[in-house]
A and B are shown apart, each in its own frame.
Chain A
Amino acid sequence: GENVEQHPSTLSVQEGDSAVIKCTYSDSASNYFPWYKQELGKRPQLIIDIRSNVGEKKDQRIAVTLNKTAKHFSLHITETQPEDSAVYFCAASPPSGTYKYIFGTGTRLKVLA
């Protein structure tokens, strides 16, 4: 089955700097890679996703890149702000017809003012 490893587990950056979180997946047939943000005490919320036929996707200050050969994908946050502080989860989903998202273990991002 699919396995997703996420690094680092914690990340502290100065406000205005960039943050990068990396995930590696095991199932080469996985074709959908979402990222979720979870603020303290709140529910996870989808912030960006990418499909296996795309190498990069951007949405304002956040971007996701996918390297299918190496089986890893990364979340990039530029010009970080204090409100970016949260736990971020990556996930990988096997091909259509299944329903088993596998999540990474999360990265706690702290943006220092």
Chain B
Amino acid sequence: NAGVTQTPKFQVLKTGQSMTLQCAQDMNHEYMSWYRQDPGMGLRLIHYSVGAGITDQGEVPNGYNVSRSTTEDFPLRLLSAAPSQTSVYFCASSYAGADYGYTFGSGTRLTVV
């Protein structure tokens, strides 16, 4: 098993550009989520999905879109990048929900200039 795979590992965007962060898992986990990590602020939930076709907002959803067409993939789209979206982004998956441990991807370090 590869676990949770995120691409790219690093990305630099100009303000206003759009891009998609990719996340895939091969563990047949129903639950997937996206977090952003900023210094001193821990991990904040952006969006999550409880299964294919079902997504919902987390704590900080503005400026981001998600979709879940398959169990394996959960891409995060930045619609119009802003410097405030400079962060490290982690995708995570869980076997059965928020009361089980997460497996995290290796992260994407995004810089918006």
Contact = CB atoms under 8 A, between A and B. Distances in A.
A81 interface: no
Contact of B98 (A42, A45, A93): A93
B110 to A, nearest CB: 15
Given A43-B104, A44-B104, A105 B41 contact: yes
B50 A99 contact: yes
B40 A32 contact: no
Interface of B: 31, 33, 35, 40-45, 48, 50, 56, 58-59, 90, 97-107
Interface of A: 6, 9, 31-32, 34, 36, 42-46, 49, 51, 89, 93-106
11 contacts: A32-B98, A32-B100, A34-B102, A44-B104, A46-B101, A46-B102, A98-B97, A98-B98, A99-B33, A100-B59, A101-B98
